[in-house]
Structure 1
Amino acid sequence: MAASSGGSSGGRFNVFGRSRRAPTGQPGEWYYCLKHHKVEEGPECPAKNRLGPYESREEAARAIEIARDRDESWRRDPRWNDRGRDDES
């Protein structure tokens, strides 16, 4: 069965049927792109590939360090630590 090329999708869908979305963000918002390993201002890459927004280029450049510190903080927070709860039964 041949694929139909009828209908108008306006170029919004690729061959896999996923919608193509423009990156979101504003000039003056800083992000760290996980795909390209670089700081970006505004909407350069899709949100799924970015950390941020950050208030400055310098803060975005530290995105991995900031995420690591937050993760460690959450790991030590007793409100988020489930270790030992199953052992108390």
Structure 2
Amino acid sequence: MALFKRRTVGKPGEWFYCLNHQTVEEGPECRAADRFGPYATREEASHAMETARERNLEWDTDPKWHDKGEGPGKSDGAAG
């Protein structure tokens, strides 16, 4: 028995933004790795890339996200 049921048909009112086609779609039409969502409205889904840019900027400038103000991928090892 499968742990997760694969849903092939979307629910009415679920909106997604497809990264491949750069379009808004109702219900999951493209594979999960290629979309953002679900969103409650078509309008929210149409702003998915803008929302992602804003969130990335917030995370990149959040002092709690990076230890001691170091950039991503840098370790705080005691070398040197």
User: Do the two structures share a fold, i.e. TM-score over 0.5?
Assistant: yes
| Count of equivalent residues | 69
Matched, 1:86 2:71: no
**TM-score in terms of structure 2 length:** 0.71
Q: Which residue of 1 aligns with 2:49?
A: 64
Larger Rg: 1
Q: Which residue of 1 aligns with 2:34?
A: 49
Task: Give the gaps of 5 or more residues in structure 2.
Answer: 1-5
Identity of aligned residues (%): 55
Matched, 1:33 2:33: no
Question: In structure 1, what is the Cα distance between the partners aligned to 2:65 and 2:37?
Answer: 23
**TM-score in terms of structure 1 length:** 0.65
The SS at the match of 1:51 is strand
Compute the RMSD of aligned alpha carbons. 2.4
Task: Name the structure, 1 or 2, with higher relative contact order (CA <8 Å, separation 6+).
Answer: 2
- Letter aligned with residue 76 of structure 2: D
